[in-house]
Copies of this chain bind each other. A is one copy, B any other.
Amino acid sequence: MTDRRPFDGQLALADLHSALADPALESMTFLNEVGGRHPEALSLAAGRPYEEFFEIEAIHRYLRRFEQYLTADRNLNPDQVRQAFFQYGRTKGIIHELVARNLAADEGIEVDPEAIVVTVGCQEAMYLVLRALRRDERDAVLAIAPTYVGLTGAARLVDMPVRTVRSGPDGVDLDDLAAVLHRTRGEGLRPRALYLLPDHSNPSGLSLGPAERRALLELAEREDLLLLEDNPYGLFAAASADRPSTLKALDTARRVVYLGSYAKTGLPGARVGFVVADQRVTAPSGASTLFADELAKLKSMVTVNTSPISQAVIAGKLLEHEGSLLRANEREIALYRDNLARLLGGLAALFPAGSGVHWNTPKGGFFLVVTVPFKVDDELLERSARDYGLLWTPMHHFYDGPEAAYQLRLSVSVLTPDQVDEGVRRLGRLINDQQA
């Protein structure tokens, strides 16, 4: 940039933050746009929750339920209730007690509500944690490949390198994790944390077994590593699968920062997530604070606080189901289970052993990964959308390198069961035409 270049409402991309030219942010834009260009295509791509059970009246009901709670359970007078809805409110949020109750009910996680920061979706939680942990250019974050693009993007915004660890069949390859830690330190970097989705990961669909969870916690202890546990899909276990304990429920040494989302289990439009950060932060003076309070300081400079109206909507939904989103999502859980089973059944019927087409078998959640004997790129996705009326996600968007050139991600969250069947048929035609 020259200092006195002529200007006329023109900025050079080369003068703006490097994240703006980064493939991770381009991916997000591309994936959003391709759906918009083909609105009639069936979407085995979208990861948003099923919407047929939504009704606008529920928003009004949730708001009134929270109002009633503030009055009856929290003994606020009418002025205080009004202030709670209309004014800025506490930086860490106003529904922290309800979030804590929800974590106890659905996940067996017992936390001090003061260790919770209510955020603008889980994305802000992720951003705040990385912003806090990135002190200088030596700090790095680890993530399991394939990696959720929101983590990669947030890391780019704080100029923090992401080092990836292989996932293996059980969700994380612990030997590779140890090797990556060693290698990263050898580069002079400080691996501050490992980000992962232990349950029905986006995009892989993989889950960590109970033994891997304990081994991972031990490794984190040994290696002085924080674990950033992201858990948007944990409630959506397949019919045959148990729900294993979250890392946070097993975390006796406060090694785990838990990133919570109400986008899939509450509703996306509220944009309410949270972070449980019960670690202690010690200042040079010896004074100590909760990590949650440090994250709140950063939040006050990003979004000030999470909309209390949005928080009220989520609170109302929680209150209506006695704090349990497992209960609130009974219909959705049944639907996702049925959809996943249909998808797996449909693939098995179309592609017998020896066909060269493989896929994994998730224990629940929205996603699975299909491996095919030909290259899967954005151009193929465009053709799939245009000629076959079918959207899915090329896996290369979730990798830094070329590993995923032969893979695609399928999601079953927005379709009806009949649409899943039809989606599989269209996918079959596409794959067979490619192989012909």
Q: Which one of A125-133, A240-248, A335-343 is at the interface?
A: A125-133
B16 touches A281 (CB 8 A): yes
* A185 on the B face (CB < 8 A): yes
Copies, count: 2
List which A278-316 residues lie within 8 A (CB) of chain B: 278-284, 291, 294, 297-298, 300-310, 313
Contacts of A321 in B (CB 8 A): none
Q: 0/1 per residue, A246-263, Cβ < 8 Å to B? A: 000000011100000001
A298 touches B17 (CB 8 A): yes
* A219 on the B face (CB < 8 A): no
* A154 on the B face (CB < 8 A): yes
A12 touches B127 (CB 8 A): no
A7 touches B133 (CB 8 A): no
Contacts of A88 in B (CB 8 A): 48, 263, 268-269
B87 touches A294 (CB 8 A): no
Contacts of A81 in B (CB 8 A): 56
B48 touches A87 (CB 8 A): yes
A89 touches B269 (CB 8 A): yes
Q: 0/1 per residue, A60-88, Cβ < 8 Å to B? A: 10010001000000000000011101111
A299 to chain B, nearest CB (A): 10
In the complex, the chain B residue whose C-beta lies closest to that of A122 is B304
B300 touches A303 (CB 8 A): no
B87 touches A11 (CB 8 A): no
Give Cα A190–Cα B1 distance, bound, in whole angstroms: 9
Give Cα A17–Cα B159 distance, bound, in whole angstroms: 12
* A59 on the B face (CB < 8 A): yes
Q: Which one of A24-32, A395-403, A415-423, A428-436 is at the interface?
A: A24-32
In the complex, the chain B residue whose C-beta lies closest to that of A414 is B87
Give Cα A281–Cα B88 distance, bound, in whole angstroms: 34
Contacts of A270 in B (CB 8 A): 307, 309
B134 touches A7 (CB 8 A): no
Interface size on A, residues (CB 8 A): 95
Q: 0/1 per residue, A1-21, Cβ < 8 Å to B? A: 101111111111111111111
* A55 on the B face (CB < 8 A): yes
A20 touches B298 (CB 8 A): yes
- Choose among B6, B21, B223, B271 the residue that contacts A305 (Cβ–Cβ < 8 A): B271
Give Cα A303–Cα B224 distance, bound, in whole angstroms: 29
With most chain B CB atoms within 10 A of its CB, the pick from A4, A87, A309 is A309
* A176 on the B face (CB < 8 A): no
Give Cα A149–Cα B12 distance, bound, in whole angstroms: 29
List which A25-67 residues lie within 8 A (CB) of chain B: 25, 28-29, 32, 48, 51, 54-56, 59-60, 63, 67
B20 touches A294 (CB 8 A): yes
Contacts of A200 in B (CB 8 A): none
Contacts of A135 in B (CB 8 A): 1, 14-18
Contacts of A48 in B (CB 8 A): 87-88
Give Cα A298–Cα B3 distance, bound, in whole angstroms: 25
Contacts of A127 in B (CB 8 A): 301-302
Give Cα A279–Cα B306 distance, bound, in whole angstroms: 29
Contacts of A157 in B (CB 8 A): 131, 298, 301-302
Contacts of A113 in B (CB 8 A): none
Contacts of A278 in B (CB 8 A): 9
B7 touches A123 (CB 8 A): no
Pairs across A and B, CB under 8 Å, 19 listed = A3-B224, A9-B280, A13-B294, A15-B135, A16-B133, A17-B134, A18-B135, A20-B298, A25-B298, A29-B300, A56-B63, A56-B85, A60-B63, A87-B268, A120-B271, A127-B301, A127-B302, A150-B304, A269-B309
> A residues engaging B (CB < 8 A)?
1, 3-21, 25, 28-29, 32, 48, 51, 54-56, 59-60, 63, 67, 81-83, 85-89, 91, 120-121, 123-124, 127, 131-135, 150, 153-154, 156-157, 185, 190, 221, 223-224, 253-255, 263, 267-272, 278-284, 291, 294, 297-298, 300-310, 313
List 9 other contacts, CB 8 Å, given A59-B63, A309-B313: A7-B224, A16-B133, A17-B131, A51-B82, A56-B85, A59-B85, A59-B309, A150-B304, A269-B308
